[in-house]
Amino acid sequence: MSIALILRRTRLEHGISQLELAGRLDVSQRHISFLESGRALPSRGLILAWMAELGVPVSVRNAALLQCGFALPQPDEDTQGAEAALVREAVRRTLDAHLPHPGLAFDADWKTVEQNRGARWLSSVVMPGLWRTAGGGGMGLDIITAIGHPQGLLSRAREPEATAAALLTQLRAETWSRPALASRVEWLARALERRYPGRMPERGRAVGVPYFSFVFDTEFGALSFEVMQSVFALPQDVTPASLRVEMWFPRDRATSEAMARHVPLAPALQVP
C-alpha cells in the first residue's frame, strides 16, 4: 500500500475532512490533497503528527514510516502508552499459558520485565545464591550479570563454554545497534574469560540465531531445555528496543515431569 493511500485511508476512517486535518496539523488543505494524491511526499515529522492526531495504531504508523524509508521512533519518542500496556498484558498471558515451563520477557537492556512461575522456580534452582541476592522476584533481573556471575546462570550448566560463547556473540552483535550495552558486554567478556581461560570457542554460533540449549545439574536431577527468543510484535513494529520473549522447552520427559511437579498451573489454566 502506497504512503498516499495509507494517509487517505487513515483520514477517511476517522471521518475528518482534509480542511479539518489541515487545520489540526497547521498545513494547507492543498498540501493534504497533494499528499493523498501522491504528488508530494510527507516528512517524517508530518507522518508522526498525522498518526498521532488521528490516534492511529502503532503498526499502521510504523508501516507509513517504513514506506517512506524513515526510522521508527525510539522509546522516548513513542507515546503509545496504552498499546504498550496491552502488549505487556498479552506477554504476561502468553507466559502464563506456557506454564509449567519457563518463560520470560526482557527489554533492550537485557533486564527482565516479566517472568512466569516456571522461570522463577528454575532460577531459584540453577542460581540460588544470585536469585536470593536479587530478591527472588525476577523483575529487573540483569541477565548479563546473571550470565557472568560465578553463581549465575552458567554455574550449574554442563559444557557452559559453548553457551557462554554463543550468548557473548549475540550480545556483541546487539551493541552495534545499542551502544549503551557495550560496557556491560565487555565486562561479561572479561568475566567469562576469567572463568573459562582458554576454553571458550573463538566464536559462538552464527549471529542472528537466538536459540540455545541448556543442561543443568540440579538437586532434582538433570534438567534439559531448548531455549528460543523472539520479538513480540508485528514485523513493521520491530526495533532494537522491542520487548523480547524467551521460551524454554523441555528436551526430555524427566525435565517435563520435574517442571510439572514443582510448578503448579494457575486454576484457570488447569485442564479438568
pLDDT at 204: 55
pLDDT at 201 over 90: no
Sheet holding 112-115, edge to edge: 112-115, 103-106, 244-250, 221-231, 211-218
**All domains of the chain, ordered by start, with CATH?**
3-67 (1.10.260.40), 81-269 (3.30.450.180)
- Give residue 236's identity as a one-letter amino acid code: Q
The Cα-based distances of 227 to 97, 122, 173, 246, 268 in angstroms read: 16, 13, 19, 7, 26
Q: What is the rounded distance in angstroms from the CA atom of residue 131 to the CA atom of residue 120?
A: 9
Strand partners, 218: 221
Model confidence, pTM? 0.73
- Give residue 198's identity as a one-letter amino acid code: G
DSSP per residue over 83-129, as a string?
A: HHHHHHHHHHHHHHHTTTS-EEEE-TTSBEEEE-HHHHHHHHHHSHH
pLDDT at 75 over 80: no
Ranges 5-9, 20-24, 112-116, 236-240: which has the least confidence = 236-240
| pLDDT digit string, tens, across residues 119-169 | 999 999 999 988 887 765 667 899 999 999 999 999 999 999 989 998 998
Using DSSP, how many helices (H) and how many strands (E) does the chain show? Answer: 12, 5
Cα-Cα-Cα-Cα dihedral sign, residues 67, 68, 70, 76: negative
pLDDT at 268 over 60: no
What region, left, alpha or beta, does residue 159 occupy, with left being phi > 0 and alpha being psi -120 to 50 degrees? left
Residue position matching grid coordinates 508522526: 48
Cα-Cα-Cα-Cα dihedral sign, residues 14, 235, 75, 41: negative
Give yes or no for a contact between 79 and 52, defined as CB atoms under 8 angstroms apart: yes
